[in-house]
Amino acid sequence: MDYLKAQSVDSLKGTINISGAKNASLPLIAMTILAKNSVNIKNLPHVADIRTLLKLLTNLGAKVDFLDEKVVVDTKPLHETKATYDIVKTMRASILVLGPILARFGHCEVSLPGGCAIGQRPIDLHLKALEQMGAQIEIKAGYIEARAPKGLQGCNIIFDKITVTGTANIVMAAALANGKTTITNAAREPEVVQLCEVLNESGVTIDGIGTAVLTVHGTAGELINIPEFSIIPDRIEAGTYLCAGAITKSKITLTNVEPKHLGAVLAKLEEMGSSFTLTEDSITIHPAKKIKPVKIITQEYPAFPTDMQAQFMALATQADGVSIIEERLFENRFMHVSELQRMGADITLNAHTATVNGKTKLSGTDVMATDLRASSALVLAALVANGETNIHRIYHLDRGYDALEKKLGGVGADIQRLSE
């Protein structure tokens, strides 16, 4: 099993190119199930979750070819409609195939996703919405069995709470449905926006893209022609490297990035003393003279993302003062606290609120990644910790970061991947 060994650095300097967004790639890969053509996808990140979903599609009968700058997904030969547990258990986002398979074939079986380390991610919102669209759904022996022999029917759906994967799943299901589907309280994340934009370009008219109310005009079962597209830059990867610049008080530049997707992250970094030079597709962070404490509340986009909470907690350990971080989306997303405490961080937990007392001197030690974003938080802490830090269980990191140690090494970090 691999681990990362990192040493503290005085500063970082250089340029990091941001990869395509994992969270945009997953629904867009699932969307190819709706296509009547081979789909060319550019800028897919080289991360484990992408490989897992592509493997699931090939198990269902699709053909996947990896070319120099793109991946070609051909779902025309897709014939299986059962997503088995051995694949779904490794990645909860596999549930994204439920909507498109059901819409295309009128039936499907998808294994119930397993537990999630950071908290409950119930799929009842997905299932309730599909039932409103006329699907008959049963849970049998750990599988969701769904049928819609007459096709899915457009209807009005109101999500009780905002759900990113739920919105994506129902948008894809509605794309082939009979009639018009209106989704109220839809997620507005850039990853959902890109899914809607690509479907729109493929002949599925979607009104309200980027708003909380989406109206999808279904094709009545007709498969769609999906043009070549490129995955948007990963805003969470970009935010993580901005935090690397901030915690080491370094000037670094990110390229292939969408600054408009990072509004809340940039605002909090500015509160903490950093400044920025922005272009259409680059961000240069200028170091703070003194890192200031901050108050953060995680909420749905466009508010502060839960996927950046752990990284900002690592940064807050180096702020001069008390930072307050409130996690409103996932009940178990503070598991990295105990690992940061092992490094010397002064953090107190009270229910869903963490109080970070800075500035503290961190010391390198052996720590364990508990989830994807917690992994990157430990890497950030290691950049400023005295001595050597060994970060174990980095298979979590590999789920969502494309060559993190190489990218950080390219701007001066002393970090290497080793096997234990």
**Which pLDDT does position 122 carry in this prediction?**
67
Confidence band of 91 (pLDDT split at 50, 70, 90): confident
Q: What is the mean pLDDT of residues 211-227?
A: 98
Max CA distance (Å), the chain: 64
Q: Answer with the residue of higher pLDDT: 19 or 120.
A: 19
Neighbours of 344 (CB within 10 A): 16
Is 341 in a helix, a strand, or coil? helix
CA distance 328 to 297: 7
Confidence band of 282 (pLDDT split at 50, 70, 90): very high
pLDDT at 88 over 90: no
**Which pLDDT does position 119 carry in this prediction?**
38
Confidence band of 92 (pLDDT split at 50, 70, 90): confident
* Residue 75 DSSP symbol: -
Helices (H), 89-163: 98-105, 124-132
**Which pLDDT does position 118 carry in this prediction?**
33
pLDDT at 120 over 70: no
**Which pLDDT does position 117 carry in this prediction?**
40
CA distance 232 to 189: 12
CA distance 266 to 274: 9
Residues 6+ apart with CB under 8 A from 310: 333, 336, 373, 374, 376, 377
pLDDT in tens, 351-390: 899 999 999 999 999 999 988 888 999 999 999 999 999 9
| Active-site entry in 116, 155, 196, 243 | 116
Query: For the whole model, what pTM was predicted?
Result: 0.95
Contact 285, 47 (CB under 8 A): no
**Which pLDDT does position 86 carry in this prediction?**
86
CA distance 37 to 226: 7
List residues bridging with 326 in a β-sheet: 297, 353
| Annotation marks residue 155 as catalytic | no
Q: Answer with the residue of higher pLDDT: 84 or 156.
A: 156
Rg of the chain over CA atoms, in angstroms? 22
**Which pLDDT does position 373 carry in this prediction?**
82
* 2-40 burial code (b ≥16 CB/10 A, e <16): ebbbbbbbeebeeebebbbbbbbbbbbbbbbbbbeebbb
pLDDT in tens, 24-42: 999 999 999 999 999 999 9
CA distance 370 to 405: 18
Q: And the tokens for 171?
A: 């948008």
**Which pLDDT does position 94 carry in this prediction?**
87
Could you please report the per-residue DSSP string of 284-328? Answer: EEE--SSPPP-EEE--STTS--GGGHHHHHHHHTTSSSEEEEE--
How far is CA 416 from its chain centroid?
A: 24
Give 63's Cβ-side CA count (13 Å radius): 8
**Which pLDDT does position 331 carry in this prediction?**
64
Contact 63, 48 (CB under 8 A): no
pLDDT in tens, 180-215: 999 999 999 999 999 999 999 999 999 999 999 999
User: Mean pLDDT of all residues in the chain?
Assistant: 94
CA distance 91 to 252: 33
CA distance 281 to 369: 31
Is 38 in a helix, a strand, or coil? coil
Strands 39-42 and 229-230, by their bridges, are parallel
Confidence band of 93 (pLDDT split at 50, 70, 90): confident
pLDDT in tens, 136-148: 999 998 899 999 9
Of the candidates 311, 302, 297, 315, which has an alpha carbon nearest to the alpha carbon of residue 397?
311
**Which pLDDT does position 413 carry in this prediction?**
98
Q: What is the mean pLDDT of residues 223-241?
A: 98
